[in-house]
Each structure stands twice: as C-alpha cells, then as structure tokens.
Structure 1
Amino acid sequence: MYGDADLALPDAVVGDAYRSAFGWETLTSLADVGSRMAGQAGERRGAEVVRDAFDAAGARDARIESFEIPGWWRGESSLTVDGSTERHHDGDHEVLALPGSPAGEVTGRVVDVGAGGYDEFDAAGDLSGAIVLASSRTPETADRWIHRMEKYVAAADAGAAAFVFRNHVEGAVPPTGEVGYHERPGPIPAVGVSKEVGARLARYARGDATATVDVDCRSESTDSHNAVSEVGPATEETVLLTAHVDAHDIADGANDNGAGSALVAEVGRLLADDDVGLDTRVRLVTFGAEEIGLWGAYHTAETTDLDSIRAVVNLDGACSSRDLRVGSNGFDALAGLFEGVTDDLGAPLATGDTISPHGDQWAFVQEGVPATMVSTQSDSSGRGWGHTHADTLDKLDSRDLRAVAVQVAEAVVRLANGDVSPEHRTRAEMRDRIDEGYEQELKQGGRWPYGE
C-alpha cells in the first residue's frame, strides 16, 4: 500500500494497526449500548465506553466532562391521511418525530415542495395551515447541500402547520435529525417518513388530500458528556483529535458516529506508543450532543484557550469505506497535510474547501481555529443509512476502520510534529469567507455567531 513512502509512524506501529482489534471492539461496545441520544442515559454510557478505551489505550487522565444542554425525548408519533384513500402510520419504522420538534397535533392540506429548494417553496404558493412535504434530496438548483432545518424553517416561515421530511433513499426507513438547533423547540411539529411513505403522500398531495400529524415528545434541560484524554508531551500547544459519541435514539449509530469515536481511541492507542515520539500534545475528545446543536464542541471551545490549539482533526462518518474525504474549511495547510499522507500511502482522497457549519469542527472554525472534517466516501447517496434505524454495525468493515486509523494517525503525527503549520484566522476573516447560503442557514437556525 505504501511502497517506499517515508512515514512518520514506525513500521511496527503501522503493522500493529493492521492487526489490532482494539478499534473494532470499541466500536462494537458503543453499538451495543443502544440509544446514545444526547443528554440521555445511553449517551453517558457511550462516553464511559470511550473513557475506558482511552485508559486501556495508554492515554493519560481519561475523564468525563459534563455540561448542561436542552434535552429532547422522543415519544410516539403518527401520520394519518384523510380523504378517499385513508392511511394511518404510527410505527417508528414509518414515521418519527424530528428532534427539536414541539409536541402537538395538527390537520391540514398536504403540499409537496419536492426537494425543498427556495424556488420550490416560492412556486408552491400559499402554504398557510398546510402540512409541507419535503424530500431529503439536495435541490438540483442549489449549489450546496440544503440542510433539513432550512427546509423546516422555510415551511414554518411560510405559515405551514407541520413539516414532513421524506427520505430519498430506498429501504423503508424514515430519517431523523435535529430541526430546532439553538432555537428549541421549533415552531411547528415535524416528522420524518420513509421514501415509500413519502412517495405515497406526494401522490395523494396531487389531489386534495389532508393529513393529521401528531407528535408526542418533551423538552427539558439535562446533562451531556465529553470523554477526554491526552497523549504526547504536556506542551502548552495542543492538537485536538475529535469525534462525537452521541447518536440518534433509533439505531446503533455505528457509522454516525460510533466509528469516529472508536477511531479517536484507536489512533490515541497508536500515538501512545513510545516509538512514535510526538513533539506536541494531542488531546483526544469525543463530544456529546453533536446531533442536536454541537453542544459538546462548543463546551470545549468555550473552556479552552483557542490560541493554544494548533489544529482540530474531527472524525465524523469515517468508516463507510477506507477512502478519505477531507473538508478543509479553507485551511489549505490541512488539505495539503492529508494530500501528502494519502499520496505516501497510495490511497485515494477527496477534498473540499467550503466553510461548512455542519460538524463539531464548526465550533472552532467560526473562531478562526484551523479545523477539518474527516469522513469517508461511499456509493451511498446523501447520508446513506445515517440517521435511520439501519445505521448498524453490520454495514461496516473492520478492515476499513484499520486503514482509516493508519491514515489519520499518520496525519496527526505530522501535524503534531510541525510538518505543517496551519495559520489561525480572525473571527472577521472567517465571517467574510462564509458562503451566503450558509450564512442564511445559520441565521435561520439561530446559529449565526457574528451578530448582525
């Protein structure tokens, strides 16, 4: 795989990585927790699994840091179609409340806005009192991914009574995902449905169908948890290797993001080897409450001297294959870092430089700290199985996890040892570099960090 490449990792450590079962066993333990919903008991158990893995990996001062978040608990939901063809859906394999949704029951005419682009909302006309149906697809007219929250806010702003988010991926599983973010609960009830239920509802919407959406849920303050540890020398400057340990409550959260958390522990184990010889401290962190607003990442950003952070490498959805995709957020040195690593390892790499507010790295990027999102590429469309019942361990391969661990460990060693020196930016510089579309999204969701 790497031929005559001159790697920072010793050959013995690379060989160990390809023989190790540690990362996969950690991932299996996280999957076996079950629900790791933010602020709930399973998330705490997941953080404990990671803390114990950090300790077993030879990292030091493995601990859990707790902080308060606005929690959300899912109850039962239903979708009933009235008219000449009546249908009732109430199983969670058919319809799910979206986190951040308020509780409530509403009835209204069904209006399909397709993929939910802004032009499609405009073309839909009057949406007052309607139940708006939008696909998880990215609109063909958009030059970026349109988040479900944007579609939800657009529906609410147009006067809709409820929002139905339909999966565009076949497989009879509804998607979940936050809609309230930092303005919780949201203004109207919101549910996710499968592609198949959504297609039927879209067909009914071409007539005069009405439907009733009924959501049972509750919102209240609770605690979330970060798992933290360190490897390397106790230098003031630090490289952060991060992931999020929470997952939605309907599946194992295997790829999103049990795999990322397991990788942080496995890479930490590799870096703890005495023969690696790090020059800079590497802090290992798995954040809580990413899925409902990046709360764990914000907690770390707000309690850390940001000037002391050399860079953040954030792993999210990084085990769907062994082929990396790196979002550099415009920090060219970080893109170059991973290009060098994958070139030396003879591995493929996809890169993007768009400044994205999706993922825990955003809490640092918005402040000008160099940070990258590292994921993997697959043949899946959109999230694939992510955010559904089907994000389970059987979709992943331990060989992919091992290969990704080697690539990430090599990148972190080079970063910690000064092979690249990414420059910090000011908040004003970051603000001015953000795409107008993402600025619109952040303002809609109450997440714009730069005032007016």
Structure 2
Amino acid sequence: MPTLDRGLLGDAYYSDHHWELLTEMVDLDNRMAGQSGEHEAAELVKDAFERHGLREAEITDFEIPGWWRGFSSLAVRADREHTFDADYQSIALPGTPAGEVTAEVVDVGYGRPADFANAELEGKIVAASSATPEDYGRWIHRGEKYGAAAEGGAAAFVFRNHIEGALPPTGSIGKEDGPGPIPAIGVSKEVGDRLVRYCEDGDVEATLNVDCRNEPTTSPNIEAVVGPDTEEEVLVTGHVDAHDIAEGANDNGVGTVLSAEVGRLLAQIEDELETKVRCLVFGSEEVGLFGAYHWVETHPDSQVKAILNADGAGYSRNMDVYTHRFDPIGDAFEETAAELGVPIDVNDEISPHSDHWPFVQRGIPGAQVRSKSEGSGRGWGHTHGDTLDKLDKRDLRELSVAFAAATAKVAEADREIEHKSVAEIREATIEEGYEEGMRNAGSWPFEA
C-alpha cells in the first residue's frame, strides 16, 4: 500500500507550491470561462504539472457559449424612484440575455417549489433569496430558482444575496446552447432587503436593465498523469475558471491548486502507486460544467476508476466528502482520517452541482471534496469577496496531505469500486428530492 512517509509529510507541511500558483492565478484578475484570463491560467497549471514531475501534460480546447459582461441596473419605484446600478448593488448573472423589462416585482422568499406555486408570476419581475432554509433537506440551486421563475412566466429574475456586505451574487443561468430565456441580475443583501420592504408595503414596479454579449468561444481542460500506465485511472480534479467579478481565490482556485499539489506529492511515491492518477483541471465549470462534460463524452467510462473532485474546499482544513453512495470511496477517506488523526466528514449524499456530476450521472464512481466552515451557502463565493486574503496556506497544506493520502488509497489495485447503473443514480437523485429543481433548471439528465 502506498504511504505518505514522514519525509513526504514534512515536505507537504512546508510546501508553498499551491500558494504560489494560487497567487499567480488570482493576479490574472479575471478567469471567466472562455476569456483570456482562463486560458492564461491554464498555461500556469500546465507549467506547474510539468515542474512537479507529472507526465503528458496537455491543454485541450473545446467550444462553449461565451458571455461578456456589460452594465446592469434596477430602478425601483416605491415612494420615489430608487436606482441601483453600482457594481456593489447589482450585477448581471452570466448567461443572461440582454434586455430591459418594466413590470411589477414579486418576491418569492427562499424560492422553494411551493413558494413559486403560491405566487402569481406571469409577466412579473421575480425576486428570490440566495438562502436555503436549514430545515429544507437539500440545497436549492440558483438555476432552479431562475428556471422556476421562467417556467412560471416571469419576465425577469432578481437573485438577492443573504450574505451582508454589499456583495451582489453572481452565477450562471445560461443554457447548453446559449443564454437563458429571461434577463437576470444579482443584488446585494442590502438592496434585496429594501426590495422586500417595498414589496411588503404594496405593489412595486421596477425596471430591470441588462447589457451583455453572448457569442461562442473556447475554454481549456488541463491534464497530466502520474503513476503506472494502467488502463484504469483515478481522476483528481478542480476547475480553473472563476467569475469575472472577483479573484476566484476559493472558487475554485483552491480546487485547482489542490489538484496540482496532490500530483506533486504523488509523483514522489510514483513507484508505489498501483493505478494511474490523472490530475485534471476543467474549464467552464461555472457556466455549465462544459469542461467535465467534454472530457467524459470523449473518453470511455471504463477508463475512470473514480473521480475525486475538489470544489468548495479552502475556507477551513476540515474536509467534507460527498460520496454519492460509492461506499469504497468513503472508506478510503475514513481510513485516511484515522491514520492521520484528522477530521474528515464522509456522507453518501448526492451533490449534483460540480464537475464530478457529469461522471456520476453516468454511474462512474465519484466524490466531491469540500471543507466545512461556518455560515450558510457559498459565503464569499460568487461575490466580489472571493479573494486571497480570506484563505490560509496552512489549510491548503492540511487539505493537500489528506487528499493525496486518500487518493493513493482509492488507487489501490485491490480496492474495488463498482460503477453503478444510470437507473441507480437516477433513483438516488430522486430520493434526495432533486428532480423537480433540476427539471426547472433544465439540468435533469435522466429519462424514465
């Protein structure tokens, strides 16, 4: 069994490689999918793979529906007209079409399915919170709320943040073949609270205005391998793109540099690895998981023993792993926790919103590797506040050690991880209550 000996652990706990790469990435300023900064970041990652001793480093470009930000504003007529057009008040959601809508505003609170069912949406500007009630049982994705508004006949959508600090949230609402059906913006909690207050006082009319550009472009996947030349391989993944309004330090700069650092550590015990490990950083996660879908659709399912996808890690060193009911993956992380004496929470829940999902929906074993921190929802993610100063390199060091050790265990030849049928994954996704929301978002991948 491959092990991280004390010398390698010492190297990992003194490492600055991940922090240096992360710093270079955030200093690009804009890694929006399909734009120049994402391609520059891809070159940085490829160079890091090569410096760390990984083999066959390459970048593969693929086409996506690109989106470029213009301006956005929300003018609300209550006691007088209030215009919110500063970037700390309102921002367009990527994938929105351009357009101007004047209509009555309806707020649907948390944006649960019942909230939409109980509201009159036709022709209205529909607002919904970014929060999900703690007792709801699952997270309600932004795309689900946008899709439900559009399905209900709304003319436009406002996504209001529940995190204070003048931080309007971003996040894609585009479709596989281009922009979504109705204009959409995110507004800060402070603007959102005012909007809710105005709605509580009576009928409120507003004008939502978005200018943007939608046209095809290309995005990169970056990959390299370490370990024996086996037909089957373990994928260690993150995504290189980020939203254009912030540095993208945590989401998902951390996932990218963890993939590179796991590769660096495993390269030092390459002769002990029993299955090939492919470090694979996807492009265009934030706008539709395009990089992950491109890769899985151009490679045989049998090539992948498991995908271990780092997304949502970084704000603490306490690892949290979603195994999608692939128990042997959970076993590997639990064994790692016991051997290293570190906390790793393992649960078998479905998490259908990151780059592991295009694999898992086909029955390929996969896990999302995150870290636990205080607060609700994304926290600083998808806002101007996703910056390097929120992170601590000590957390990256501990996450890298645990991630590398668990990857080596998943790569053990005698650790069998059976693929599931699509029907099994479909049933598990339904059991956990995701079908209605994913259908609203246009992301339901299963037929009966």
Please give the TM-score of this superposition, normalised by the length of structure 1. Answer: 0.96
CA spacing shift, 1:142–1:218, aligned 2, 3 Å: same
Confirm or deny: 8 A CA contact 2:106 2:127 kept in the other structure. yes
RMSD, aligned CA: 1.5
- Structure 2: how far apart are the matches of 1:148 and 1:404? 28
1:7 offset after TM fit, Å?
7.8
Distance 1:83 1:445 in 2: 31
5 Å-filtered alignment, 1:129-278, equals 129-139=123-133, 142-182=136-176, 184-206=178-200, 207-274=202-269, 277-278=272-273
Does the C-alpha gap of structure 1 residues 140 and 123 become closer, same or farther in structure 2, counting only changes over 3 Å? farther
Residue pair 2:55, 2:225 contacting (<8 A) in 1 also = yes
Q: 1:404 to 1:327 in 2, by over 3 A?
A: same
**In 2, are the aligned partners of 1:327 and 1:373 still within 8 Å (CA)?**
yes
Report the counterpart of residue 3 of structure 1 in structure 2: none
Deviations 1:188-209 (A, max 9, x none): 1100001001000111112222
Give 2:191's aligned amino acid: V
Residue 48 of structure 1 corresponds to: 43
- Aligned-partner residue type, residue 438 of structure 1: Y
Shift of 1:122: 2.5
Query: Cα offset for 1:394?
Result: 0.3
Choose from 259, 282, 286 the match for 2:277. Answer: 282
**Match for 1:159: what amino acid?**
G
Quote the offset at 1:283 in angstroms: 0.5
Q: Distance in 2 between matches of 1:203 and 1:291?
A: 32
Matched, 1:346 2:337: no
| Equivalent-residue separation in structure 2 for 1:171 and 1:26 (angstroms) | 28
Is the deviation greater in 396-405 or in 30-39? 30-39
Q: Note if contact 2:239-2:255 (Cα within 8 Å) is conserved in structure 1.
A: yes
**2:388 aligned partner:** 393
Please state if 1:413 is matched with 2:411.
Answer: no
Deviations 1:13-70 (A, max 9, x none): 1110001111110111111111111111111011111111101111112111111111
Aligned to 1:326, the other structure's residue is in SS state strand
**C-alpha separation in 2, matches of 1:344 and 1:276:** 21
* Equivalent residue runs for 1:279-428 within 5 Å: 279-418=274-413, 420-428=415-423
Q: TM-score, normalised by structure 2?
A: 0.96
Question: How many residue pairs were aligned?
Answer: 446
Return closer, same or farther for 1:275/1:158 CA change in 2, 3 Å cut-off: closer
Alignment-mate amino acid for residue 71 of structure 2: E
1:252-305 superposed Cα distances (whole Å, 9 cap, x missing partner)? 100100011011111111111147621111101000000011110111101112
Runs of 4+ in 1 over 4 A off after TM superposition: none
| 79-88 vs 193-202, which moves further | 79-88
Check conservation: 1:176, 1:248, Cα contact below 8 A: yes
| Structure 2 residue runs without a partner (length 5+) | none
Give, as a single letter, the amino acid of the residue that structure 2 aligns with 1:196: E
Q: Which moved more, 1:255-264 or 1:138-147?
A: 138-147
Partner residue, 1:89: 84
What percentage of residue pairs aligned between the two structures are identical?
55
The question of whether the paired residues in 2 share the 8 Å contact of 1:183 and 1:446 is answered with no
Specify the alignment match of 1:76 in structure 2: 71
- 1:168 & 1:321 partners in 2: Cα distance? 21
- Which of 94, 98, 103 is equivalent to 1:99? 94
The 8 Å contact of residues 78 and 198 in structure 2, kept in 1 or not, is answered as no
Q: CA deviation at 1:163?
A: 0.6
Partner-residue secondary structure (3-state), 2:272 = coil
Q: In structure 2, what residue type is equivalent to 1:289? A: S
Aligned-pair CA distance for 1:339: 1.1
2: CA distance, partners of 1:338 / 1:448: 29
Structure 2 partner of 1:440: 436
State how far apart, in whole Å, the 2-side matches of 1:301 and 1:144 are: 26
| In 1: Cα distance, 2:283 partner to 2:214 partner | 17
Is the contact between residue 227 and residue 270 of structure 2 (CA under 8 Å) also seen in structure 1?
no
Quote the offset at 1:418 in angstroms.
3.1
Cα pair distance change 1:7/1:403, threshold 3 Å: farther
What is the CA distance between 1:357 and its match in structure 2? 1.4
